[in-house]
Amino acid sequence: MSSNSHKISLASSDDCSKPSGRTFYVAVAELVHERDVLLKALGDAAENYAKLRQERDRLKAQLAQLENTIATLRSKGKRVVADRDKWEEMTRQRENEIAQLRHRGADHNKFRQVKAVIGRRLHPDNEKGTGEIERIARTVIFKEIWPEIVKIDRGEG
């Protein structure tokens, strides 16, 4: 700027009768000023460009990190769905087992009732005013049937 001021002062010290010389120095000074303004704007633009590049790079890194997070969440989501499906299948199996056990329990109760009836009616010690032949027949039937009932009760039959 000091050289521009020097030129401007030279222009003013020159003879005013030469309007072309003075106009020339003013035009040069204006051009120098415009150049300085443009250089400053160019410097600011370069600085802004550098900041924008940094911001772009930061956003790219953040995007890559988010994409990795999404991929991780997708794989974990698939694993959770697979685990859920596995647990649902296990639940169905256990519910079926419970239903079967309840059914077996009902059957087992019926079996116990039948066993009690057979035991009361056919046991040799049960003498409800019956004859000797009937007592002997009950004893024979009881001795043949009871071991089979015991096997069934133990789960062997």
Q: Which residues contact 153 (CB under 8 A, 6 or more apart)?
A: 111, 115
pTM score above 0.75:
no
| Distance in angstroms (rounded) separating the CA atoms of residues 24 and 8 | 10
**What are the boundaries of each domain within the chain?**
2-122
The structure tokens listed for 52 are 């924008």
Residue 32 CB-density burial (10 A; 0-12 exposed, 13-18 middle, 19+ buried) = middle
Q: What is the pLDDT along the chain (157 residues), one digit of tens a residue?
A: 444 444 444 444 444 445 577 898 898 999 999 999 999 999 999 999 999 999 999 999 999 999 999 999 999 999 999 999 999 999 999 899 888 877 776 777 778 888 888 888 777 777 666 678 888 888 888 888 888 888 887 877 6
Residue 2 near residue 23, CB atoms below 8 Å: no
